[in-house]
Amino acid sequence: MRDKIKDLFNKVDQYIIESKEQAEQFRLMFLSRKGELSNLFNDFKNVAAEDKKEIGLLINQLKDKIQQRYDDAKNNIDNTSTVNTNAEDYTRPGFPFETGTSHPLTIIRQKIISTFENIGFTVASGPEVEDDWHNFSALNFPENHPARDMQDTFFIDEKFALRTHTSSVQIRLMENNKPPFRALMPGRVYRNEAISARAHCFFHQVEGLYIDKNVSFADMKQTLLYFSKEIFGEQTKIRLRPSYFPFTEPSAEMDVSCFICHSKGCSVCKHSGWVEILGCGMVDPAVLQNCNIDPEVYSGFAFGMGIERIAMLKYRVNDLRLFSENDIRFLKQFNAANE
């Protein structure tokens, strides 16, 4: 028994372990249920009583040695694998790193914001879940007023709904600040519409508001002319057509001269030479009163446009759904040159 244990000590010392496979073979040979160590414990019951203490001590020493040898070898192999995995191989050829691109809506949004920031506008934001007061009533939409039917709304409950426009941010701004102020309100809005190439249940708006003493319709016209020239080119002209919005009076729709055909007539402008891009008007005195602003002292104008609408015209995209489907083939077209 002593000679067998001595031979196993030598065998453990001489065993070569340089890989995970060899480490597993070592474990099976010495530590498994049918391994050498297990056989020694089975033979131990046949050892004479006077030798059990000595033999038992030797077997335990052998067990500790086997276990230590296995643990050390396994750790060395794991550490070597980690070093090799993490090490840089400077002889390998380089791989090109693909860079992302800005989303077309982000490009247009930032262009619109920077254009108005150049003339003193700041950016304001508000919640996408709004109460009736900020989304409708304060904006001159009385209960049961037909104008509420202009927008199909996602109602959460009797008091709250997903905002149908960022005009609600205008109300919050006027409630919590004293004039004068001029601000932009970019953000996502929601309307209960069937999804198609021309409509979606959510889209993005940028609205603007300017309140001060002696603000006139002419101020609004010059501001929007400046914006149009910055976005569509210096040669751009605008025209204002009478319209109706509950929160502005007078109200107008604004068209820009077609920047694709230069007003000669094409499919984009429907051969009219003009393209509609936004709605605008002077803030209704009733809206100012709802926000505790004296309409006898202050006046102002507001405007709103769809970012998707501008992007579709700017990049000649014919399907609104492309902006939200994240098709990489579509998005890859908008690189730094577009910005």
Q: What pTM does this model have?
A: 0.67
Task: Spell out the domain ranges in the chain.
Answer: 2-86, 104-338
At residue 339, does pLDDT exceed 80? no
Half-sphere exposure of 334 (CA within 13 A, CB side): 22
Dump pLDDT digits (tens) for 52-103: 788 778 777 878 887 888 888 888 877 765 555 555 677 877 777 777 788 9
Q: How far apart are CA 188 and CA 164, in angstroms?
A: 9
Helix (H) or strand (E) holding 150: none
Dump pLDDT digits (tens) for 303-323: 999 999 999 888 888 888 999
Top pLDDT among 47 and 154 is at 154
DSSP labels, 218-229: HHHHHHHHHHHH
SS3 label, residue 309: helix
333 — alpha (psi -120 to 50), left (phi > 0) or beta? alpha
In CATH, which superfamily holds the domain spanning 104-338?
Bira Bifunctional Protein; Domain 2 (3.30.930.10)
